[in-house]
Amino acid sequence: MPKPLNYLLVDGYNIVFAWDELAKLAKESLNNARLRLCDILCDYQGYTNLVIIVVFDAHLVEGSMGSVSEYNNITVVFTKEAETADHYIEQTTRVLSRRYKVTVATSDVLEQVIIISQGARRMSAEGLLLDIEDVKKKQFEAYEKNRVQAVKNNPLSGLLDKETLAKLEAMRFGSNRKKKEK
């Protein structure tokens, strides 16, 4: 059976202005701060297999038709004119939480109350940052453990990519077979 999907909806600007690194970057370039958040979320998605949707307000952008696009392995939404990210997140949560586990990352207290009433879980901006850091730390520890074990088993395996290792193994076993045939 396929694993059920878990969704993470992210209130983009709420997170940008809550995280020191992104808030500082936003002072120089809001676009760069958005891209950095998306890059961080792409990495996080790769570790967690969550379906991540990050939503940015464009409700004050006159004539904005809104947009939904894929950025690597996450979905990025810009709301349409007169639609807030909160409204989009509430609607999406209402639909998704009927069938899936949904978590919303925002530090907006009112938004948290609304999404909880719709059956979703909440995660603060700080909680999301801590979870991202924790997941990265665990992945690095697992990588190091596997690398150390691989080096013990085969000193080259920890240093070479899989393709090169496969070629070397083929050469090694190919030469052994030729010797046996003689």
119 & 162 share domain: no
Of 73, 92, 123, the domain-final residue? 123
- With beta carbons less than 8 A apart as the criterion, state whether 75 and 89 touch: no
36 & 110 share domain: yes
For the cut 80, the answer to whether the pLDDT of residue 180 exceeds it is no
The answer to whether residue 134 is domain-embedded is no
23 & 55 share domain: yes
> What is the C-alpha separation between 102 and 124, in angstroms, rounded?
14
Residue 33 belongs to what H/E stretch? helix 30-48
Question: Around Cβ 152, how many Cβ atoms within 10 Å?
Answer: 10
For the cut 70, the answer to whether the pLDDT of residue 162 exceeds it is yes
Residue 8 belongs to what H/E stretch? strand 6-11
The answer to whether residue 40 is domain-embedded is yes
103 & 34 share domain: yes
For the cut 80, the answer to whether the pLDDT of residue 33 exceeds it is yes
107 & 171 share domain: no
Cα torsion angle, 86, 88, 94, 97, sign: negative
pLDDT at 148: 61
The pLDDT confidence band at residue 54, using thresholds 50, 70 and 90, is very high
104 & 166 share domain: no
Beta bridge partners of 103: 8, 121
148 & 176 share domain: yes
For the cut 60, the answer to whether the pLDDT of residue 73 exceeds it is yes
12 & 101 share domain: yes
Domain of 154 in residue numbering reads as 142-181
- With beta carbons less than 8 A apart as the criterion, state whether 100 and 5 touch: yes
The answer to whether residue 117 is domain-embedded is yes
pLDDT at 150: 61
pLDDT at 16: 97
The answer to whether residue 63 is domain-embedded is yes
Q: pLDDT tens digit string along 74-115?
A: 999 999 988 899 999 999 999 999 999 999 999 988 888 888
> What is the C-alpha separation between 90 and 85, in angstroms, rounded?
8
Cα torsion angle, 167, 170, 172, 174, sign: negative
